[in-house]
Structure 1
Amino acid sequence: MPVELSATQALTLWHTVSLDQVRVESGDLTLRQMAILLHIYLVPPPHTVRGLAATLGVTKPVITRALDTMGERGLVERVRDDRDRRNVVIKRTVTGALYLEKLGDLIIDRGRRLSL
């Protein structure tokens, strides 16, 4: 059954979850980094720097900077494509999967509290 939220309720949910993330996470992700991370985990692979740049409509250096931060946190991993050494393939990690699972659980929890 679809959840019906007003625009205000949806924004309140986003606000609450964002505040929780900022409070709990020592190095919270930017909106761009979160969009990239969600794309990597929700859209079937393979993912490349070039492909992510095209999808988000930004340059490859923008993607590279975002991936640097996420890589330092262990959320993603970059490896050279064996078939085309010019391409860098972005891989999912267990740490990244757990991060998003916790985020999903937090959204569910806050969404339930919002509807009460």
Structure 2
Amino acid sequence: MNSANPNPLLYLPDMQPEELNYIQSITRDLTPQQLEQFVYLYRTKRKDNQTILIVALAGFAGFAGIHRLILGQIGMGILYFLTLGFCGIGTIVDLLNSRSMTNEYNQRQAFESLRMVQMSFR
């Protein structure tokens, strides 16, 4: 990554505007080297909205809860699997909320990546 251009959007082209705004706000005080490490870490941890939506759709084919497992919600993922997505109602709700669920997960991962970068440069 070229540290002369510290715009994370160039290295994460599938970011949504609200995710980009959050990333820019938390990385504004990072040095180019720290930003490079942050982008590398975050890129490996973040999830794509479309992927989560497609996996949530698989809930109707008997694979309910996989999207919750991917987002780190192990208990809910198992519960969805055992109840077939709360008889499909929970899966429908999650389809409607998939973008916000993914954004929340990505914000947690961005914050965790930021902390890891800050700790490594102390």
TM-score by structure 2 length?
0.36
Higher strand content, 1 or 2? 1
Higher helix content, 1 or 2? 2
TM-score by structure 1 length?
0.37
